[in-house]
Amino acid sequence: MAAFEKVVRLDPRHAEAAAQLACLHGWRSYEAGTAQAGEAERQLETTWARRALDIDPRCGLAWSLLGAVEVQGRRENPELAVEYAVKGVCLAPHQAQVHITMATILSGPGSVGLFIAGGRRSMELDPMDLTGPAFVALGLAWMGRAEEALANVDRALLREPGHALLNGTVRPYALVRLGRLDEAEAHYARLGKPPGPTIRFWSAVDRGQTGEARALAGPLLAHWLGPKERAIDIGNAVLFNAPYLVRAGLSDDAIRLLQRSVDVGAIPCLDWLLANPEMQQLRRDPRFAQILRATRDSAAMVARHLDQAKARGELPEYLQKPLEDLHGHIAEASRLGP
């Protein structure tokens, strides 16, 4: 932070330094944990991003960060977030950060395929930043490819054994998805901390301990559905936990969590909603049709912005296939409902 502030003092017209300050304030906002706690940092993120754009209207990082502001806030204008994220990758295709931001914004309401693609492009551009491998591994695990996910995690951890996201979330999640519950618990033991209530909930479901699973689910649901939970965290809660709620016999709670995510603008990923076996079980519930329709319509909005970038000749090559796949998912969702 101090280094970029010094750059701006020495050169007030340095757009990249202003954008990097916006990025750092955005990270502080996310780390605050709640929308209210991070509001001041989010305002600073906006200020610095707009200052960068005043200097250079083609600063792709600044555009993508304005999209991130929309995601971290109340999501009052999700289409604006998508527009800014697409503009970011088009204007700064060789900057790893914009692809990570794009992956975050376009996955829900778009697809896990876009999330994985953004993570892979970030890995190519900045192999030392392990956010990319973490995103790829998470996406693979969400889509039922946990073996590939674990292989990606373990390769990344060879470079940075203490990486917080890979160690604290991605690796244990992949292990649980593979049914290797004892290994997941041993992983936490090596980290010197006990498994949290979420992973204990997953493990209880996998071990058929229905009573314990439901007891653990109660407080977790109260937290996920509470008024202070951020939209981005509710969206993550759906991907990680809605299938386990279904398997625990709590399908009504899974629907409530999905509906909450739609209500706050954290739309589920369309390809995941269509392919996940537990989500397929929910299709009998009439409320699921409304969730699917909202997800399909939001995915169509994402596809429209990507199509427009493609028509202008600005869409990065690596997004061509995920865009084609997204159109296929939209067509499938349309066949399933009105």
pLDDT, tens digit, 9 for 90 and up, residues 152-187: 999 999 999 999 999 999 999 999 999 999 999 999
What is the number of structural domains in the chain? 1
* Rounded average pLDDT over 91-107: 94
Q: How far apart are CA 93 and CA 250, in angstroms?
A: 43
**Sign, Cα dihedral of 239, 270, 207, 250:** positive
Query: Would residue 148 count as lying in a domain?
Result: yes
181 occurs within a structural domain? yes
Lowest mean pLDDT among 191-195, 220-224, 274-278: 191-195
Whether 263 maps to a domain, the answer reads no
Measured CA to CA in angstroms, residue 74 lies from 70, 81, 249, 279, 305 at distances of 7, 11, 31, 26, 21
pLDDT band at 43 (very low <50, low <70, confident <90, very high): confident
- pLDDT of 35 over the 70 cut: no
Alpha carbon distance 37, 93 (integer Å): 32
Classify residue 162: in a domain, yes or no: yes
The Cα angle at residue 180 between residues 174 and 186, in degrees rounded to 5: 90
In order of 71, 103, 157, the CA distances from 130 in angstroms are 22, 14, 9
Residue predicted with more confidence, 178 or 338: 178
Residue 138 within any structural domain of the chain: yes
Question: Residue 134 falls within a domain, yes or no?
Answer: yes
**pTM value > 0.75:** yes
Of 81, 54, 52, the C-alpha closest to 68 is: 81
Higher pLDDT: 252 or 227? It is 252
Going from the C-alpha of 263 to that of each of 76, 194, 267, the distances in angstroms are 11, 33, 8
Q: 60: closest CA among 98, 24, 22?
A: 98
Question: Could you list the residue range(s) of the whole structural domain that residue 183 is in?
Answer: 130-195
Mean pLDDT in residue range 72-89: 83
Q: And the tokens for 83?
A: 């527009």
Are 188 and 161 in contact by the 8 Å Cβ rule? The answer is no
- The arithmetic mean of pLDDT across residues 114-143, rounded, is 97
